[in-house]
Structure 1
Amino acid sequence: MPRRPRLRTALVVVASLVLLALVAVTLLGAFVLRRPLPQVSGEIAVEGLSAPVEVTRDAQGVPTVAAATAEDLFMAQGYVAAQDRFFEMDYRRHVTSGRLAELVGDEPDAIAADKVVRTLGWRRVAEQEWDLVGEDTRRYLQAYADGVNAYLAGRDPGEIAVEYTVLGLQVPLESPEPWDPVDSLAWLKAMAWDLRSNYDAELDRALTYPVVEDVGRVEELFPAYPQDRHATILDAADLTPATVAPAADVALDIDDADLQDALASADRALAAVPELLGEGEGTGSNSWVVAGEHTASGSPLLANDPHLGISAPGIWSQVGLRCTEVTDACPFDVSGFSMAGLPGVVIGHNAELAWGLTNMGADVTDFFLERVEGDQVRVDGVTEPLTVRTETIEVAGGDPVELTVRSTRHGPIVSEVLTDVADAGQAPVPDGAPGNRFEVALSWTALEPGSTGDAIFAMMTAGDATEIAAAAALFDVPAQNIVFATVDGHIGYQAPGRVPVRADVPGSPVPSDGTWPRPGWDSRYDWQGYVEDAAMPRALDPAEGFVVAANQQVTPGGTGPRLGDGTDYGYRSQRIRDLLTEQIAAGEPVDVATTQALQVDQQDPYARVLAPVLLEVELDDAFDAGGQELLRDWDQVASADSPAAAYLAAVWAELLEQTFADDLPDGHEPTGGSRWLEVVTRLLDQPTSPWWDDRSTPGVVEGRDEILSRAMAEARLELTAQIGSRPADWRWGLLHQAAPAHPVLGGEQVPAAVRWFTNPRPQQVGGGSSIVDATAWDASSGSYTVTAAPSMRMVVDLGDLDASTWVALTGTSGHPGSQHYDDQLPRWARGEQLAWPFTAAAVDAAAEHRLTLTP
């Protein structure tokens, strides 16, 4: 008996010790998380400034920087960016310089990524661009770097970011090295890489051919843009005659798998690069401008929401940059979305003009099959030397890795980047070709030094269409659609970008338009220069009173320069055009609120195409028909609470697998984006097409209705297992969630406790692929999780800039311990936006914190 009290006492003591330990861990965790949070009020002395700089922050922590000189302005922006997001900047520069293993250690994926980036030479090209950009640009980039380094000076890694504390427990880390202005230029290469177009389609064509063995059937998977149903950005009446003829219609004959091995190896190698902005069919954007004659304010409205990969922190950093007196020497008065590590504003508005960007889909990459003989490569019957260099990849806590990089006149050889890459390939070649084994080189416009660094600052000060055109001429990569509107009432469109001109090669064994890999041994296939700036499509104040640029084809086929076939198929853009046209025809003025509502429109084009056909399919099993019934009275809106949207998504994924999995190479299954919607739209009218037949069932030939029945039955079973047996209980948002993850500490390989504080809480969302509310998902992945989404949304009222609105995906801060790490995410998920003050008075009224940076 007397032992029981002592046991109770012992248990109380143990419990107390455990509690104290938990409290200590909690307090330590809170200290570690909060230690890097920046000072946002008071004064800080910053060596290098010429005069005091004021930094105000609003309730969301968005900074506005006001300075007397341009150098002080960008130095202060660099300081504030480092305060908020230095680890993100450091991670980005490690990726873009091929030094990720230096940061995260001996991780196979990191080393593979470093090999690819070193082979492509992003940092080497950026170093060449430093000498190419203008003197003012160099001054601004240097000032930004000086500001970053002023913040880093004297701080240990744990004071800068919690990520260094966590990584330091796993690998040896030194203090971050100083920021270099070339680090900012190198980030432009990552932007260009993730927003390149046609690269995937070119490989998909070549790798699909040996399975289906019919060029015509391959091309059915890459249909032409449906301009009979979906309008292009510009009408032919706005354009000059075409300067480049369409490609010749030629046949292709591939009969050896060695080529496919080489191309597959190149594909694996290039896919190793982290997607810093996101890549794939879900990566795009919506943008439009409406003339004042159709708006409530009588002035133009501009909307933009770039669809990029989701991450924590988000891709964009909101910021205002203001010269206290706008002069030729200090011409900046701008607010918008920047990217950590890059000075200036990429998308936004100044006091005279607003601009938005969307991916143009230009074909800026080509794969060349190269006949390599030792250290030589064959061209036009003779040989010329390869360019060879050796790269050393340092690995934190591991041994260095040596990499030999070989390049031809067309670019680096990418088919040997990974250790398991095949040496060569068997090419589809004409008679008399030099041998039959080839390696694969990549031509890409971003591998030539360009002036995009200059374009960013030119865009920030543009005030009219002429100045936008001048900025666009500098905007080499990535090729983007620019929509713009001015305070004095103009709206317009401008296509920038460096777009290759490809010659039509008579008698070519492969199409010479850039859609298939090209013979590198024949100089007739070499790029013939670039489309002239003056020939790039543009428009000012079009007659219909608005411009919609949502990744659709820029001009009608056969008009304007040949830009490539990497565009979206126009389901989003046409929906936007239709709603704007209806509103204008009804005499309802367009305003900020209706524009915000249009940005989150969830009308589902998949439902419009599929639901009528699915409802005609006879299902004998009452259980299977339970899902089908959801479609009967559905309004075809893919809201988060819609049971029918969940069912249709499951049917879509099953339909694609049942129809195409047996015909496509591994790793190239249908992702379900707009191209696949267009493919299936056309196939639905061909119920006996060979695509419907399942080749894994010999002796049985399936047709359309049998595949649709299977897909519906499998979808019913899947949702029953995942959610429940009652279709009325299904919800799209239970499956379709936006879950931004930290790029280094957010994966399954790190402890759950670390993931908990670095990954924001997932949000149930509506929308989907090819929907205006473009929360894309990958139908080949087995998951409905959002892969790309509006990375921000903005609406600019040119009649009252302070009435404009914006929202970012996560928040302003990159520190997981900050309240602003993900405070905008719930609003974003609900489709809401925040007030966007711009004028000095509005910014002052919204200020909750004031920091003065003093010399």
Structure 2
Amino acid sequence: MPRRHAARRALVVVAALVVLALVAAVALAATVMRRPLPDRDGAVDVAGLSAQVDVLRDEQGVPHLFADTAEDLFFAQGYVHAQERFFQMDYRRHVTAGRLSELVGADADALASDRVVRAMGWRAVAEQEWDLLAPGTQAYLTAYADGVNAYLGATAPEALAVEYTVLGARVDLDDPEPWNPVDSLAWLKAMAWDLRSNYDHELSRALTYATVRDVDRVEELFPRYPYDRNAPILSGDDVRTVASPAGVSLDLDADLVDALEATERALDALPTLVAQGEGRGSNSWVVSGEHTASGSPILAADPHLALSAPGVWTQMGLHCREAGEQCPFEVSGFTFAGFPGVIVGHNADLAWGLSNLGADVTDFFLHRTDPEAGTYERDGEDVPFDVRTEVIEINGAAPVEFAVRSTVHGPILSDVLDLGRVTGSPAPEVPRRSSIEVALGWTALEPGATADAIFMLNTASDAEDVAEAAAALEVPSQNIVFATTDGQIGYQAPGRVPVRARVGGGPVPADGTWPRPGWDSRYDWQGFVDADDMPAVVDPPGGVIVAANQPVTPRGAGPVLAEDWDYGYRAQRIRTLLERQVEAGEPVDVESTAALQMDSWSPQAELLVPALLEVPVDAFTREGVDLLRDWDYTQEPDSAAAAYFASVWSNLLELTFQDDLPHDQWPSGDSRWIAVVTQLMDDPGNAWWDDRRTVNVVESRDEILARSLTAARLELTVSLGKTADEWQWGRLHTARPLHPVLGGEDTPRVIRSVMNPSPVGVGGGSSAVNATSWHAATGGFEVDSGPSMRMVVDLGDLDSSRWVDHMGVSGHPASPNYGDQLEPWARGETFPWPFSRAAVEEAATRTLTLRPGS
């Protein structure tokens, strides 16, 4: 045989072997990916159940559980959560216990997260909460944990989740620990942290002041809420007046930059589990039956949280076969894997939505410390720190040991990442031996009974029940809007909110918007707002309640809950459109409500476009500007005008502010920055307009507007093409939920492609009702948070209600229900939400029977 033929034959054989190897690898990968998929049909004997539980799943894989006792119901919920989402549960408990390094190995980000969580003591606080809970709550949490452990005990570790297989190639993993009820309570700390209030604004003011050195200029970047433009949730007639604390003050002459930046770095080290930035928002509203097609109230909710894979929520129905005193649960909605019950949803009598109240529940206390002596100053005396040692175990590496120092105000955070002692330039009255360090005061670091509130809401039937639940819902502080099948609508503010003292003196307020002097006890919290004083209303005139993170009451009415709020553009848009619909005599129904959730109107555009159209530009730029002339300000995915305007807005913020502010304070473009620019538009010569990077030139407003228009035209020409009217917002503005462990660039591409769904183009934007937020300072337009789910409940016919998640029910990427709701969610579609047994059975495609076993 000629040599070249033999060589060719050898190449063919080698190629065939390579193909076979690839096929085998793909087959093996498919096997590994599919191994964790749980049984969704048939019957399983499960030790721990007292009677049979039926699990009916619909086409989207949503499970509806039917049981005879509450304990069996929550046992089965734990079992099903573990079937679909155990790695997510395990990841969450590692984060909330400060043990992430034990799961993922030596990783700088994981270690930083562990240090901060340990310093705050999330798990320790959760352990203290156990004894505060009602016996029934303890029983439900225990039953849930038993259900999780029943699944773990019957499932091989490699069959729990593909993540363990991938991580097992990096580190040696032990079998997962049994689930403990405190693991569920600790998750509430993560939820409370991500939904905290203004701590970022509080730090931002101080850090901005360090650069600007002018309190008045700093306050221009944090405008007061525009009550004359955007309405609060309740009118002044709906609440009693409670005395508000006068402005208190703090002298910030000391150079606190290092300590504050160290604190900011520490808190930024925490992974986002629920929300971040403007993502800590939500829309929720309710319309009374006098304005609806069904004659009964309609309630809508769409919490704006981080978009993750799998999603934050998982949909589920929990049904006692015969609901009564012994088994009172007949509830359906959105659950957290790792916690029993339903967080947002409806039962047979009442529907409720939650949106972030935004109450100011955190303060940074500045402490004069003597690191050598181990003391801090209080009212002129030296007080010893409360010191404890934490040891972080790291998978595959030596453990890390560090000391946590705590004050009466909470743990010192400015040194938690071991950045060394931070010594500021002292003010004249600060002794030279002192350092300035930062402690965190946060209401969630005191144990409470929030877990009780979840089950109380699940069984509530009227406003009195909601108020009772709200009194227990201490953290996170959430707006509760609700409606009943009897026709009642209402609002209730819950939460543990600090009362701040009346103290005077100094150039900046200490009303919770700036750090406070921890060395002076007059600035300590003076207790908490009484639950009976928290704002509430039932059946207000007008028949519409909108809660979208704006202030709860007019200024001066009701207790002082916060000074920093979302600026109300979403809330006002919702209210305006509902009032137009009511005035036009068009009944509100499920379809129109779902359409309102997708409203993409831009408040920034209403502010800027009229002025932009008046700015002289060259012919090339005019092709972009012309897109804005007939634009209706809606940011649909196919809109060329929306794409151009977003780029203009981003460039305007860069040109106006980046020259004056430190990098970590560059504008995000959220509702605060809309309010800032609104003020500046009426002051064309304001110093903020001047770009200090241009030598011997002082820019005014119109010059910055013109440069923004030109820069945006050039930017989109490069990214989307030269023909302006072919641009599309959805090509820039994409949503891609990421896996928290296997979603980053350090994960092999083939794994990332499986764990993370493909990006989808979406409409909406920051401060739109369809709040698909993006951060202007990143240089891109990708969604960083958005409506994590959407639900619309018709209290006249619960089975006609609709819902959608931003991902899907399953946490297994090989499941058809891992990301099957993402594209419908992006398009604004929703799915039927069956509730009655008949409707659930009609929608069911699979049934799993859990039987008592030995």
Measure how far apart 1:256 and its partner are. 4.3
Give me the whole-angstrom Cα distance separating, in 1, the residues matched to 2:630 and 2:840: 48
When residues 419 and 803 of structure 1 are mapped into structure 2, their CA distance, relative to the original with a 3 A threshold, is same
Measure how far apart 1:15 and its partner are. 2.1
Where does residue 273 of structure 1 map in the other structure? Answer: 270
Give me the whole-angstrom Cα distance separating, in 1, the residues matched to 2:787 and 2:274: 11
Where does residue 372 of structure 1 map in the other structure? Answer: 369
Measure how far apart 1:255 and its partner are. 4.1
Where do residues 305-324 of structure 1 align in structure 2 (5 Å cutoff)? 305-324=302-321
Deviations 1:626-682 (A, max 9, x none): 211111111211000011111111111111111111221221111110000110011
Where does residue 513 of structure 1 map in the other structure? Answer: 511
Measure how far apart 1:509 and its partner are. 5.3
Where does residue 593 of structure 1 map in the other structure? Answer: 591
Could you tell me which of 567, 574, 578 is aligned with 1:576? 574
Give me the whole-angstrom Cα distance separating, in 2, the residues matched to 1:434 and 1:534: 47
Where does residue 48 of structure 2 map in the other structure? Answer: 48
Task: Please tell me the residue identity of whatever aligns with 2:645.
Answer: L
- Partner of 2:301: helix, strand, or coil? strand
Measure how far apart 1:408 and its partner are. 0.2
Report if the CA contact (8 A) 2:258-2:422 is conserved: no
Task: Please tell me the residue identity of whatever aligns with 2:150.
Answer: A
- Partner of 1:567: helix, strand, or coil? coil
Deviations 1:480-501 (A, max 9, x none): 0000000000000000000000
Gaps of 5+ in 1: none
Task: Please tell me the residue identity of whatever aligns with 1:402.
Answer: E
Note if 1:361 corresponds to 2:373.
Answer: no
Give me the whole-angstrom Cα distance separating, in 2, the residues matched to 1:612 and 1:64: 52
Where does residue 264 of structure 1 map in the other structure? Answer: 261
Where does residue 59 of structure 2 map in the other structure? Answer: 59
Where does residue 739 of structure 1 map in the other structure? Answer: 736
Where does residue 719 of structure 1 map in the other structure? Answer: 716
Where does residue 136 of structure 1 map in the other structure? Answer: 136
Task: Please tell me the residue identity of whatever aligns with 1:106.
Answer: A
Deviations 1:255-314 (A, max 9, x none): 443x11100110001110001012112330001000000000000000000000100001
Task: Please tell me the residue identity of whatever aligns with 1:75.
Answer: F
- Partner of 2:71: helix, strand, or coil? helix
Structure 1 stretch displaced more, 651-660 or 468-477: 651-660
Where does residue 238 of structure 2 map in the other structure? Answer: 238
Where does residue 229 of structure 1 map in the other structure? Answer: 229
TM-score, scaled relative to structure 1 = 0.98
- Partner of 2:377: helix, strand, or coil? strand
Could you tell me which of 756, 778, 782 is aligned with 1:781? 778
TM-score, scaled relative to structure 2 = 0.98
Where does residue 761 of structure 1 map in the other structure? Answer: 758
% identical equivalent positions:
62
Where does residue 853 of structure 1 map in the other structure? Answer: 850
Measure how far apart 1:12 and its partner are. 2.3
Where do residues 616-655 of structure 1 align in structure 2 (5 Å cutoff)? 616-619=614-617, 621-655=618-652
RMSD: 1.3
Where does residue 106 of structure 1 map in the other structure? Answer: 106
Where do residues 285-324 of structure 1 align in structure 2 (5 Å cutoff)? 285-324=282-321
Where does residue 441 of structure 2 map in the other structure? Answer: 443
When residues 615 and 137 of structure 1 are mapped into structure 2, their CA distance, relative to the original with a 3 A threshold, is same
Measure how far apart 1:6 and its partner are. 2.7
Where do residues 488-507 of structure 1 align in structure 2 (5 Å cutoff)? 488-507=486-505
Measure how far apart 1:566 and its partner are. 3.1
Give me the whole-angstrom Cα distance separating, in 2, the residues matched to 1:673 and 1:565: 17
Task: Please tell me the residue identity of whatever aligns with 1:243.
Answer: A
Measure how far apart 1:11 and its partner are. 2.7
Task: Please tell me the residue identity of whatever aligns with 1:10.
Answer: A
Deviations 1:666-715 (A, max 9, x none): 21111110000110011011000011011223432111111111111111
Could you tell me which of 525, 528, 531 is aligned with 1:527? 525
Measure how far apart 1:326 and its partner are. 1.0
Report if the CA contact (8 A) 1:607-1:648 is conserved: yes
Measure how far apart 1:385 and its partner are. 2.0
Report if the CA contact (8 A) 2:232-2:554 is conserved: yes
Report if the CA contact (8 A) 1:57-1:63 is conserved: yes
Where does residue 402 of structure 1 map in the other structure? Answer: 401
Where does residue 552 of structure 2 map in the other structure? Answer: 554
Measure how far apart 1:435 and its partner are. 6.5
- Partner of 2:340: helix, strand, or coil? strand
Deviations 1:112-152 (A, max 9, x none): 00000000000000000011111111110011001000000
Report if the CA contact (8 A) 1:292-1:299 is conserved: yes
- Partner of 1:400: helix, strand, or coil? strand
Task: Please tell me the residue identity of whatever aligns with 1:566.
Answer: D
Where does residue 415 of structure 2 map in the other structure? Answer: 416
Deviations 1:372-423 (A, max 9, x none): 2222221112222211100110111111000210000000000001122542
Where does residue 336 of structure 1 map in the other structure? Answer: 333
Where does residue 83 of structure 2 map in the other structure? Answer: 83
When residues 434 and 52 of structure 1 are mapped into structure 2, their CA distance, relative to the original with a 3 A threshold, is farther
Give me the whole-angstrom Cα distance separating, in 2, the residues matched to 1:376 and 1:532: 34
Give me the whole-angstrom Cα distance separating, in 2, the residues matched to 1:28 and 1:67: 39
Give me the whole-angstrom Cα distance separating, in 2, the residues matched to 1:245 and 1:694: 39
- Partner of 1:573: helix, strand, or coil? helix
Task: Please tell me the residue identity of whatever aligns with 1:405.
Answer: V
- Partner of 2:274: helix, strand, or coil? coil
Deviations 1:224-272 (A, max 9, x none): 1111010110000111012323425x5x654443x11100110001110
Gaps of 5+ in 2: none
Where do residues 825-844 of structure 1 align in structure 2 (5 Å cutoff)? 825-844=822-841
Measure how far apart 1:343 and its partner are. 0.5
Give me the whole-angstrom Cα distance separating, in 2, the residues matched to 1:506 and 1:469: 35
Give me the whole-angstrom Cα distance separating, in 2, the residues matched to 1:422 and 1:603: 48
When residues 128 and 237 of structure 1 are mapped into structure 2, their CA distance, relative to the original with a 3 A threshold, is same
Give me the whole-angstrom Cα distance separating, in 2, the residues matched to 1:698 and 1:253: 34
- Partner of 2:49: helix, strand, or coil? coil
- Partner of 1:172: helix, strand, or coil? coil
Note if 1:452 corresponds to 2:446.
Answer: no
Give me the whole-angstrom Cα distance separating, in 1, the residues matched to 2:830 and 2:420: 47
Report if the CA contact (8 A) 2:278-2:785 is conserved: no
Measure how far apart 1:432 and its partner are. 7.3
Report if the CA contact (8 A) 2:246-2:503 is conserved: no
- Partner of 1:371: helix, strand, or coil? strand
Measure how far apart 1:2 and its partner are. 2.8
Give me the whole-angstrom Cα distance separating, in 2, the residues matched to 1:500 and 1:254: 22
When residues 716 and 100 of structure 1 are mapped into structure 2, their CA distance, relative to the original with a 3 A threshold, is same
Give me the whole-angstrom Cα distance separating, in 2, the residues matched to 1:780 and 1:768: 15
Measure how far apart 1:426 and its partner are. 4.4
Give me the whole-angstrom Cα distance separating, in 2, the residues matched to 1:61 and 1:238: 43
Report if the CA contact (8 A) 1:282-1:769 is conserved: no
Q: How many residues in Structure 1 have an aligned counterpart in Structure 2? A: 850
Task: Please tell me the residue identity of whatever aligns with 2:594.
Answer: Q
Report if the CA contact (8 A) 1:266-1:421 is conserved: no
Report if the CA contact (8 A) 2:57-2:63 is conserved: yes
Structure 1 stretch displaced more, 432-441 or 786-795: 432-441
Report if the CA contact (8 A) 2:252-2:508 is conserved: no
Structure 1 stretch displaced more, 347-356 or 323-332: 323-332
Report if the CA contact (8 A) 1:120-1:447 is conserved: yes
- Partner of 2:572: helix, strand, or coil? helix
Give me the whole-angstrom Cα distance separating, in 1, the residues matched to 2:278 and 2:337: 25
- Partner of 2:525: helix, strand, or coil? coil
Report if the CA contact (8 A) 1:262-1:421 is conserved: no
Structure 1 stretch displaced more, 7-16 or 124-133: 7-16
